Amino acid sequence: MAEKYNITVRGCDLFYGDFQALKDINIDIEEHEVTAFIGPSGCGKSTFIKTFNRMNDLIEDCRITGEILIGGQNIYAKGTDVTLLRKNIGMVFQKPNPFPMSIYDNIAFAPRTFGIKKKSELDDIVESSIKQAGLWDEVKDRLRKNAMGLSGGQQQRLCIARALAADPKILLMDEPTSALDPISTGIIEDLINELKTQYTIVIVTHNMQQATRISDKTAFFLLGEIVETDVTEQLFGNPKDKRTENYITGRFG
């Protein structure tokens, strides 16, 4: 992959068998920005975000056409190293999903997978990743304890730290705060604002206030299409498409 980690999508269609889930998607996602995907349930947001790390490869009968370029490289080209792609593109899911092992081993999992065995090196990665996720002071004395003992908000920050430990360039977040209380949500939103200086972040959210608080650009999805993409303030303050306006003013969705 090239050094620049922007995402360019041209003419992307995605099918599950005969069903077309994404239709002619075109978007440019700039590096070191937060791009939010909004839209009603089932409109293709989560399906689309998973094309960036090829998670849809795991779904039978899934077919993708068009171009998805990351740093200028077509990630669906023959010979793409999917393991390396997924190392460069971290993913955080809707529900916290820590592994049933110690806090330390959760974070060390990816670096070990990629061949880092030296304890001092792993210790450094574990500490810096947990610090980046704003969790260090809460867990530094219990790193050998089971991660399942953490609260929901702590587990989600642990999952963010686990994604960061692989040293990604892009961070995908699929409704990362929808299962959390308002305080944990606020902590993670602050964290996203800090992390964008180092990572390109794409977030799927149902919470439009969240999109206005944390994203630089927003794309509105409807029925598998992108209706409109714009600078977030512009999209919410002065949408160009009537369907966008109807959605953000609560007339449907």
Sign of CA dihedral 155, 159, 165, 167: negative
Sign of CA dihedral 152, 127, 202, 99: negative
What number of other Cβ atoms are within 10 A of residue 207's Cβ? 16
Tokens 């849809």 belong to which residue?
A: 56
CA 169 to chain centre: 11
Q: In what order do the strands lie in the sheet with 19-29?
A: 19-29, 7-16, 62-70, 73-74
Return the pLDDT at 251: 82
Return the pLDDT at 4: 80
| Domain positions in the chain | 7-97+160-248
2-54: pLDDT as tens digits: 468 999 999 999 999 999 999 999 999 999 999 999 999 999 999 999 999 99
Tokens 């999805």 belong to which residue?
A: 221
Q: Hey, what are 86's tokens?
A: 């997924």
8 Å CB contact between 48 and 41: no
CATH architecture for the domain at 7-97+160-248: 3-Layer(aba) Sandwich (3.40)
Measured between alpha carbons, how far is 94 from 116 in angstroms, rounded to an integer?
A: 29
123-175: pLDDT as tens digits: 999 999 999 999 999 999 999 999 999 999 999 999 999 999 999 999 999 99
What 3-state DSSP class applies to 94? coil
175-198: pLDDT as tens digits: 999 999 999 999 999 999 999 999
Residue type at position 120: S
Phi and psi at 249, nearest 5°, equal -95, 5
pTM reported for the whole predicted model = 0.95
**Mean pLDDT lowest for which of 112-116, 239-243, 248-252?**
248-252
Tokens 């993708």 belong to which residue?
A: 64
